Structure 1
Amino acid sequence: MRSTVLAPCIAIICIFASGCATKPQPLYSWNEYQPQVYEYLKNDGSNAPEDQLLKLEEAQEKVRASGRALPPGFRAHMALLYSKSGNQEKTIEQLTAEKQNFPESIAFMDLLLNTFTGKKN
């Protein structure tokens, strides 16, 4: 009788213990995003946007290659930098991508898109 109760208990303990042994992977790959935002804010946005864009574009490619997702705000920050460099097409592209990937940002992204295009979205 004792072994019939003991065996399932040991099996359950092993299942729970193996579940605790695996480390969950983060949902987003933050990569170069946070240091670039910090650099932008530290210098009041006075650095050339092209330098930051190059680093963020490289980070974006690394994230795509790893199969992970870009974090919230990554594309919006790139849109800000593209707008500062005068590339309106890329600005709109990045704001639209941010809106599609993070539906909770739709209202704000629509406001920004309206600012850049002059149209209601």
Structure 2
Amino acid sequence: MTSSHITRQAAGCCLLAAIGLTGCAGPKPLYEWNGYQPQVYAHLKGQGKGPEEQILAMEEGVQKAAAKGAKLPPGYHAHLGLLYLNTGRTNQAVAALNQEKAQFPESTKYIDFLLNNMKKNGS
């Protein structure tokens, strides 16, 4: 074999590899954020939407994630639960907090703390 033949083979292999790699999709994101981070940031700065508007936006995010079969990030359900609590929707708050705990068992102590405080405060 000549060196030009080997060079053409190597170039052909590189071309095939490049074509194969461009056809691959990038890695799938771990979580479906749906604008959660900017919303929480605005809320914490006191510049966010009212609780009802936040709830609607977050519930829409839950539906979008479910439609994609994607997971929501840590804290999403907990934040939604606290919004429910602030608007007097105790049953929905408990359900959202328990969902956070089920999805992220490492949050159990914090979520149990919140749930116990709800009971103490008669919510």
| Shorter-chain TM-score above 0.5 | yes
CA RMSD between the two structures:
2.9
Larger radius of gyration: 2
In structure 1, what is the Cα distance between the partners aligned to 2:25 and 2:91?
43
SS at match of 1:25: coil
Cα offset for 1:116? 1.3
SS at match of 2:79: helix
Cα offset for 1:22? 4.3
Of 44, 47, 50, the residue aligned with 1:48 is 50
4+ long deviations beyond 4 Å: none
Is 1:36–2:39 an aligned residue pair? yes
Q: Which amino acid aligns with 2:28?
A: Q
Counting aligned pairs with the same residue, the percent is 45
User: 5+ residue gaps in structure 1?
Assistant: 1-9
Query: Cα deviation per residue 1:73-97 (whole Å; 9 max; x = unaligned)?
Result: 0001001111110111111111100
User: Under a length normalisation based on structure 1, what TM-score does the superposition of the two structures give?
Assistant: 0.76
2:91 paired residue number: 89
User: 5+ residue gaps in structure 2?
Assistant: 1-12
Q: Aligned ranges for residues 1-121 of structure 1 at < 5 Å?
A: 18=21, 22-43=25-46, 47-118=49-120
User: Under a length normalisation based on structure 2, what TM-score does the superposition of the two structures give?
Assistant: 0.75
In structure 1, what is the Cα distance between the partners aligned to 2:67 and 2:119?
32
